[in-house]
Structure 1
Amino acid sequence: MSSTDLVKAMVYFSQTLIGTLGNLFLLCHCFYLHFTKFQLSSTNLILKHLAVANSLVILFRGVPETMAALGLKDFLSDLGCKLVFYVHRIGRGVSIGNTCLLSVFQVITICPINSRWAKLKSRTHKYVRIFSILCWIFHMLLSIIVPFCVTDKWHHINITYQKEFGYCSSIHHKKSRTIMHTALLSLPDVLCVVLMLCTSSSMISILYRHNLRMQHMHMTNMTYRSSPETRATKTIILLVSTFVCFYSLSLIFHAFFIFYNNPNRLLVCTAAVVTGSYATVSPFLLMKHYPSISNLLDCIRKTKTCHIMRSI
């Protein structure tokens, strides 16, 4: 095994380990709040789905990439390749959908009382639960086309062109079909991105007007701190910005894969890292900035015998 392959394996393994632990901690925290009834909110429900989806994205891409970089060959059968790419695609779609749902929920939460969205505040928990379940079902059905486009490296020989990804191959008979499948899979993601940008713009506008109203309080009270809703809103705006950056890079790489039959292996590796970057980074952004999670972390730092840790 070359030094380059060893470096790639270390990068994949580090990303997989860090991302999995981050999402696992986020998931455990949400379940703790759920079972202790300390905080039953729509936000925690979204974060649970987001943590599970992110974990699927990381594990079902990071583990095979790490094994391939270590020099293992033919460790996935045709069925294994289809399953890996299918589950990875579902996790990616649900992750995008729940990030969008979190953004929409937050803009409803902080909207003024006289806003037309204010009447939805009391019913958001019911809507969030329904949309989260529908998101999983929708992406399970939409991603059915993925297994038909993926196989193991040595399964087919009579093909128009084949793109090798180290441990599996993407096979298509016509480039027009590839473009059609890509457009079909990308359309919901693009719509979610547009909706996230709109809600983020709305949140920025609401925060700006709020800061103008609170300007006098800032001047007269030096100990003033922003409300939990304001801090959560800023966190979600940061989360959406991070997602849009990584998603844009992922689209650029995917465009190369469509128009080039034999993509460079380094390009494939970089695309794999970029694909898992949002799922790896997002739980740490939430743990650092989201009020309930950051309070738990502060408690852990201050005392090793924290009651929350004993309960978990």
Structure 2
Amino acid sequence: MLTYDDFMCIFHKLQTIIGLFGNSFLLYLYILKLIINQRITLIDKICINLVFSNILMVIFKGIPWAMQACNQKIFMSDIECKIIIYVQRVSRGISLCTTCLLSVFQAITITSCSPKWAMLKARVLKSIVPACAFIWVLNLLIDLVVPLHVGALRSSNNSQLTRNLGFCSIDIYAMRTLKIVIWKTLYDAVFVGLMSITSGYMVLILYRHHWQVQHIHHPSFNPSASAEIRATKFILCLMIIFVCFYSLSSIFIIVMDNSKDTKQWVVNISAFFSLIHPTISPFVLMSSDSKNASYCNVFKWTKKSYKHSSKNPELICLKL
């Protein structure tokens, strides 16, 4: 009969494997688009940014927590602990900012093309790539102080001054006195608030679209808008998943930061909630693009391409 520890070990391993598989496969689909000379859209670039942050999150948080849940002793040096915790924080922040950027982008995309919005939409769309680069720089700098208060586990550590993560320890007193928690809370609240506003706007657009579908002969109804509406629904679903589990994860983090003796089940649930979005989001993004189904059959495409190229070698030069 499986014990609680065995169940948590299997559960964390499955979550890590599914997260790595989903994000790696989605990244593979985007690479495949480039190989077959498909155009990479702006929303694809945002999703690629999100996929990279998800992969970092799953590798640097999912794998250590899975090993910890399986009672595998992890011996890390101070430098290794600093790198792991720093990448965890950075990837979490990048995921937040990128998901917010995805929400804002989709809200702007489905905005009516009136003259007063046209110039603003053009400027925003041109700023997507610089915005993705800025997100990385911002989060790399904003969490730069965190590694200073992270170290390896030592037998002499005072449990009242440090929080044991199982494989590393954090100086709780220093983190509180530097007001990092307050700063990060305000930082997160800005992006979550912006995400909520744009999500509410998209709900309004979807409601308007539903009303137009009921009156399909309405002059302003555009059948080509159905793809954008479909993508909006999936992105809105992604926003809801992120906000819900991000909020739950933040609540458990606050509980752990203010608890002298943190229970193991609280730590496990916190890790579970923090990894839900990186695990589910690639599958939601794959479902939002109907073209992904045609990219999944790579073996058929490769076989067909090979047959044509073998019959006519000049086709290889033409494709290149």
Structure 2 letter corresponding to 1:33? K
Structure 1 letter corresponding to 2:287? K
* Cross-structure match for 2:112: 112
User: How far, CA to CA, are the matches of 1:294 and 1:252 in structure 2?
Assistant: 38
Structure 2 letter corresponding to 1:163? R
Query: Residues 33 and 40 of structure 1 are in contact (CA less than 8 Å); yes or no, is this contact kept in structure 2?
Result: yes
User: How far, CA to CA, are the matches of 2:303 and 2:125 in structure 1?
Assistant: 25
Aligned residues: 301
Query: Residues 161 and 171 of structure 2 are in contact (CA less than 8 Å); yes or no, is this contact kept in structure 1?
Result: yes
Structure 2 letter corresponding to 1:66? A
* Cross-structure match for 1:76: 76
User: How far, CA to CA, are the matches of 1:30 and 1:183 in structure 2?
Assistant: 38
User: Pairwise mapping of residues 275-290 of structure 1 onto structure 2 (< 5 A)?
Assistant: 275-290=274-289
* Cross-structure match for 2:248: 249
SS in 1 for 2:144: helix
User: How far, CA to CA, are the matches of 2:34 and 2:47 in structure 1?
Assistant: 12
User: How far, CA to CA, are the matches of 1:130 and 1:295 in structure 2?
Assistant: 30
Tell me the TM-score normalized by structure 2: 0.85
Tell me the TM-score normalized by structure 1: 0.87
For the pair 1:172 / 2:172, whether they are aligned, the reply is: yes
Q: CA offsets, 1:122-156, max 9 Å, x none?
A: 34443110000000000000111221232212176
Query: Residues 143 and 185 of structure 1 are in contact (CA less than 8 Å); yes or no, is this contact kept in structure 2?
Result: no
Structure 2 letter corresponding to 1:272? A
For the pair 1:201 / 2:196, whether they are aligned, the reply is: no
* Cross-structure match for 2:300: 305
Kindly name which structure, 1 or 2, has the bigger radius of gyration based on alpha carbons. Answer: 2
User: Pairwise mapping of residues 116-127 of structure 1 onto structure 2 (< 5 A)?
Assistant: 116-127=116-127
User: Pairwise mapping of residues 69-148 of structure 1 onto structure 2 (< 5 A)?
Assistant: 69-114=69-114, 116-148=116-148
* Cross-structure match for 1:271: 270
Query: Residues 27 and 48 of structure 1 are in contact (CA less than 8 Å); yes or no, is this contact kept in structure 2?
Result: yes
Q: CA deviation at 1:168?
A: 1.3
User: How far, CA to CA, are the matches of 1:55 and 1:254 in structure 2?
Assistant: 21
Q: Quickly say closer, same or farther: Cα 1:157–1:214, change in 2 above 3 A.
A: closer
* Cross-structure match for 1:60: 60
User: How far, CA to CA, are the matches of 1:185 and 1:309 in structure 2?
Assistant: 52
Query: Residues 164 and 170 of structure 1 are in contact (CA less than 8 Å); yes or no, is this contact kept in structure 2?
Result: yes
Q: Quickly say closer, same or farther: Cα 1:288–1:91, change in 2 above 3 A.
A: same
User: How far, CA to CA, are the matches of 1:155 and 1:310 in structure 2?
Assistant: 61
* Cross-structure match for 1:231: 230
Q: Quickly say closer, same or farther: Cα 1:185–1:155, change in 2 above 3 A.
A: farther
Structure 2 letter corresponding to 1:227? S
SS in 2 for 1:163: strand
Q: CA deviation at 1:218?
A: 7.9
* Cross-structure match for 1:291: 290
Query: Residues 238 and 281 of structure 2 are in contact (CA less than 8 Å); yes or no, is this contact kept in structure 1?
Result: yes
Query: Residues 27 and 48 of structure 2 are in contact (CA less than 8 Å); yes or no, is this contact kept in structure 1?
Result: yes
For the pair 1:161 / 2:161, whether they are aligned, the reply is: yes
User: How far, CA to CA, are the matches of 2:304 and 2:52 in structure 1?
Assistant: 21
User: How far, CA to CA, are the matches of 1:47 and 1:308 in structure 2?
Assistant: 29
Q: Quickly say closer, same or farther: Cα 1:102–1:60, change in 2 above 3 A.
A: same
Query: Residues 108 and 120 of structure 1 are in contact (CA less than 8 Å); yes or no, is this contact kept in structure 2?
Result: no
Structure 2 letter corresponding to 1:278? H
* Cross-structure match for 1:25: 25
Q: Quickly say closer, same or farther: Cα 1:46–1:290, change in 2 above 3 A.
A: same
Q: CA deviation at 1:4?
A: 2.9
User: How far, CA to CA, are the matches of 2:175 and 2:236 in structure 1?
Assistant: 37
Structure 2 letter corresponding to 1:93? G
Q: CA deviation at 1:177?
A: 1.6
Q: Quickly say closer, same or farther: Cα 1:125–1:156, change in 2 above 3 A.
A: farther
- Name the Cα RMSD after superposition: 2.6
The runs of 5 or more residues in structure 2 that have no matched partner are: 307-320
Query: Residues 231 and 289 of structure 1 are in contact (CA less than 8 Å); yes or no, is this contact kept in structure 2?
Result: yes
Query: Residues 160 and 260 of structure 2 are in contact (CA less than 8 Å); yes or no, is this contact kept in structure 1?
Result: no
Q: CA deviation at 1:102?
A: 0.7
User: How far, CA to CA, are the matches of 2:157 and 2:107 in structure 1?
Assistant: 52
Q: CA deviation at 1:260?
A: 0.4
Query: Residues 111 and 118 of structure 1 are in contact (CA less than 8 Å); yes or no, is this contact kept in structure 2?
Result: no
Percent identity reads 33
